[in-house]
Amino acid sequence: MTMLRERQADAAPLTAARAQRSRRERRVVLVLVGALLIVAAFSLAVGAYSLSVPDLLRTLAGQGTQSENFIVLSLRLPRLTLAVLVGVAFALSGALFQTVLRNPLASPDIIGVTGGASAAAVFGMLILGFGSLATSLAAFAGAIIIAGVIYLLARRGGVVGYRFVLIGVGVAFMVQGLLGYLLSRADLNDAQGALLWLVGSVSGARWQNISVVAVLLLLLLPVIRLADGRLRALQLGDDLATSLGVGAERTRLVLLVIAVALAATATAAVGPLAFVAFVAAPIAWRVVGTGGLALIPAALIGALITTVADFVAQHLLPGQLELPAGIITGAIGAPYLLWLLATSNKTGKSA
């Protein structure tokens, strides 16, 4: 009895720390949701035709004038919705990859998964003359196939993080070579169209592709929620996870399949938006503090990144010129990536 009490006493500070962390996480989530709402309001209201906040609310409630309805509900809302959805999908995909492979560089855009999608899509566009729907399907298939190839190659008595990443890097270089070949063969106009797709943009949002992403997210989110505990166990290392009754290898496989499906769908919908998958989860971990998985904050940060990037891309240049959102995420993500590498190495949490 005394022993039990002692053990409870030992556990008390741990529980307190955990409670504090979840309080902090809840606060972070609230702040992020608030920020996302503000950005959403801005992207719906501001543009060539700007609305006041009451006007915007009236329009959203279905009481707007015809032109307000058209601009907000048919032009801006689909774009915003798609940006939020792909932001969540990329962020969760990256978070799962990074957690499962225990390596901050193991995000789908670094290890060639989105690269596979790109190569397949560009092949479809330039060689087979695919339209947008077929291109999306090709991108989806490309991501799945490349991910399967990397998994099979990296599998050798279990998946090890660094091996998976380096083999992914090798495959990514091959895919890059293939892309270069395809781009150099095509007509200049087509090649430029392909380059634009390769940057990624949410400007082509239709309710049709929005619904595909939405349905997939709705199906996968509960699964990820269920896998949360297993992920936590995996973070402790394989041996501990196994002794806690979590089949490490099978869990990893299931989670990787989910992550690949998320990345493939998002890429198929908007193209490979650079670095969203890569930076969302590390930012979330930094904000929330160490130890947690912080999947919800990561997803919100992903959505925030894509919506802000799209807003900036639309309004950065004067006049009606607009940039693809991927340019903004790339320009912000690239330096952040280097900074992250530098600081994570310095503190000894080596990549």
Cβ neighbors of 51 (< 8 A, separation 6 or more) are 44, 45, 59, 68, 72
Q: Does 318 bind another protein (CB under 8 A)?
A: no
Q: Does 158 bind another protein (CB under 8 A)?
A: no
Displacement of CA 3 from its chain's centroid (Å):
47
- Which candidate, 298, 290, 218, places its Cα nearest to that of 261? 218
| Residue number with CB closer to another protein (120 or 296) | 120
Q: Does 105 bind another protein (CB under 8 A)?
A: yes
| Residue number with CB closer to another protein (173 or 207) | 173
Written as one string, the DSSP assignment of 16-76 is: HHHHHHHHHHHHHHHHHHHHHHHHHHHHHH-SSS---HHHHHHHHTT---HHHHIIIIIII
**Count of CB atoms within 10 A of residue 131's CB?**
9
β-partners of residue 159 are: 155
Q: Does 196 bind another protein (CB under 8 A)?
A: yes
Q: Does 337 bind another protein (CB under 8 A)?
A: yes
β-partners of residue 155 are: 159
Please name the residue that has the structure tokens 């090798």.
Answer: 170
**Number of residues near another protein (by CB under 8 A):** 50
| Residue number with CB closer to another protein (137 or 178) | 178
Among 58, 163, 232, 315, binds another protein (CB under 8 A): 163
Supply the minimum distance, in Å, between the C-beta of residue 225 and another protein: 30
d(CA 201, CA 152): 32
Among 275, 287, 307, 316, binds another protein (CB under 8 A): 275
Cβ neighbors of 212 (< 8 A, separation 6 or more) are 265, 269
| Residue number with CB closer to another protein (64 or 330) | 330
Among 162, 203, 289, 322, binds another protein (CB under 8 A): 162
Q: Does 348 bind another protein (CB under 8 A)?
A: yes
Contact string 108-147 vs another protein (x = CB under 8 A):
-xx-------------------------------------
**Count of CB atoms within 10 A of residue 86's CB?**
33
Cβ neighbors of 334 (< 8 A, separation 6 or more) are 274, 275
First to last CA, the chain: 45
| Residue number with CB closer to another protein (44 or 125) | 125
Cβ neighbors of 166 (< 8 A, separation 6 or more) are none
Among 85, 198, 259, 264, binds another protein (CB under 8 A): 198
DSSP-assigned letter for residue 155: B
Supply the minimum distance, in Å, between the C-beta of residue 341 and another protein: 5
Site residues for another protein per CB under 8 A: 105, 109-110, 153-154, 156, 162-163, 165-167, 169-171, 173-174, 176-178, 180-181, 183-184, 188, 191-192, 195-196, 198-199, 274-275, 278, 324, 327, 330-331, 333-335, 337-338, 341-342, 345-348, 350-351
